[in-house]
Amino acid sequence: MKTKLALENGSVFPGESFGASSEVTGEVVFNTSMTGYQEILSDPSYAGQIVTMTYPLIGNYGINLEDLESVKPQVAGFVVKEYFDYYSNFRATGSLGDWLEEHGIPGIQGIDTRMLTKMIREGGALRGVLSAVDLDDDRLVAKARRSPQMKGLDLTRQVTTAEPYRWDDIDRTPFALRPQARKDRNGRKWNVVAYDYGVKHNILRRLTSYGCSLNVVPSSWPAEKVLELDPDGIFLSNGPGDPAAVRYAIENLKKLIGRKPIFGICLGHQLLALALGGKTYKLKFGHRGANHPVKNLLTQEIEITSQNHGFAVDPESLDPSAIEMTHVNLNDNTNEGLRHRELPVFSVQYHPEASPGPHDSDYLFVRFLEMMEHQAVSVGSNAR
């Protein structure tokens, strides 16, 4: 079936449909990963976006239900050079196209993804419409231009959990690679409250593998209710949209900073920076891929990281006497991490749980545990 991708700049890409035969609008972005398409498609941080894969052949290993980052695909639409319907993988339970169709997500194949990627790199992320319903070029371009801008858009409400829950997922990490679960001196697991701004399941799996007992709460959960759970630490997840638009989350974090150890990833990093008095800005085309080099300014070591974000923290907007920049992106020198100089608070822009290094960034989970251990010892000493 014929389908088209039209952009706000007037460009129209005709191609063949796979997945659902429908029409969607969204911000058109690209991801440079060679594998991991189902993790990308099910990552809630991609809500509202039409994702283009730069790797030319997609679909050859199908879909399995163990590697999903959420319960369903989260992207608005999917763009590839060549879709391969015949999958071959002993873990596969079905084809990529059937999975997308089941969840109403349209895809397009057969377009020049190199041209599209270059267009986005030179002109920035573009609003677009992907349609197998309406094939009129002028109407499609007009629809793309009327679609919402990502800047100023709060998408966390679309992807967060409706109610709090406990994460009891079985840790599937191979025993040989599983870290030693760390507990307090009474043998108790660490009680962590995780704010769900669009959390990836593997983050929760990784925290669990380190001995954390997780209570996952909605993005708007009041700070007072978080403190009622008496957590040892608070985790801030990844998520989609403009961080500056999530005002309720920023206000809640202001009430929690200094009360408990806090660790943030991706959107959580940006929200924490805003709560600390900083600013964020929209990147030209964002960082989306599995091979971004990041320098740890504390150790001078280089980490290969997985990333997915369209906004960044402005390091000049934060007070250097209180906040220390800990990581920097070696591709464009944008901020990739920060920590408070006195309080047990830190965050990173990239995804340590995605393991592209593969374990370059796993120390961040250890650092979070060490903060909770230190806090527990300090509270115990003060109580005595």
Strands, E, within the chain: which ranges? 2-7, 12-19, 23-31, 49-53, 57-58, 77-79, 82-83, 106-109, 126-131, 165-167, 190-196, 212-218, 233-236, 262-265, 279-296, 302-314, 323-329, 335-340, 345-348
Tokens 């920076």 identify what position? Answer: 273
- Complete DSSP assignment for 113-156: HHHHHHHHHHH--EEEEEESS---HHHHHHHHHHSPPSTT---H
Q: What is the pLDDT of residue 168?
A: 73
The CA distance from 7 to 144, in Å, is 6
Q: What is the pLDDT of residue 175?
A: 47
Q: Of 266, 303, 309, 340, which is the active-site residue?
A: 266
Q: What is the pLDDT of residue 176?
A: 52
Q: Which is nearest to 182 in space by CA: 350, 368, 358?
A: 368
Please identify, in words, the CATH class of the domain defined by 156-383.
alpha beta
Element (H, E) at 158: helix 156-159
Q: What is the pLDDT of residue 384?
A: 47
Query: How do the pLDDT tens digits run along the chain, 384 residues long?
Result: 999 999 999 999 999 999 999 999 999 999 999 999 999 999 999 999 999 999 999 999 999 989 999 999 999 999 999 999 999 999 999 999 999 999 999 999 999 999 999 999 999 999 999 999 999 999 999 999 999 998 999 999 999 999 999 997 555 555 455 566 666 655 668 999 999 999 999 999 999 999 999 999 999 999 999 999 999 999 999 999 999 999 999 999 999 999 999 999 999 999 999 999 999 999 999 999 999 999 999 999 999 999 999 999 999 999 999 999 999 999 999 999 999 999 999 999 999 999 888 889 999 999 999 999 998 877 655 554
Q: What is the pLDDT of residue 359?
A: 87
Is 353 annotated as catalytic? yes
Q: Helix 267-275 and helix 247-256: axis angle, to 10°?
A: 70
Q: What is the pLDDT of residue 177?
A: 53
> What is the pTM assigned to this prediction?
0.94
CATH of 2-146, one of 3.40.50.300, 3.20.20.80, 3.50.30.20, 3.90.280.10: 3.50.30.20
Q: Of 292, 327, 340, 351, which is the active-site residue?
A: 351
Is 351 annotated as catalytic? yes
Q: Is 190 left (phi over 0), alpha (psi -120 to 50) or beta?
A: beta
Phi, psi of 107 (to 5 degrees): -130, 160
Domain boundaries, the chain: 2-146, 156-383
The CA distance from 42 to 59, in Å, is 14
Peptide bond into 352 cis (omega under 30): no
Q: Note every long-range contact of 141-149, with CB atoms under 8 Å and residues 24 or more positions apart, other chains counting.
A: 141/6, 141/7, 141/8, 141/10, 141/12, 143/6, 143/25, 144/6, 144/7, 144/8, 144/25, 145/8, 147/8, 147/25, 147/26, 148/25, 148/48
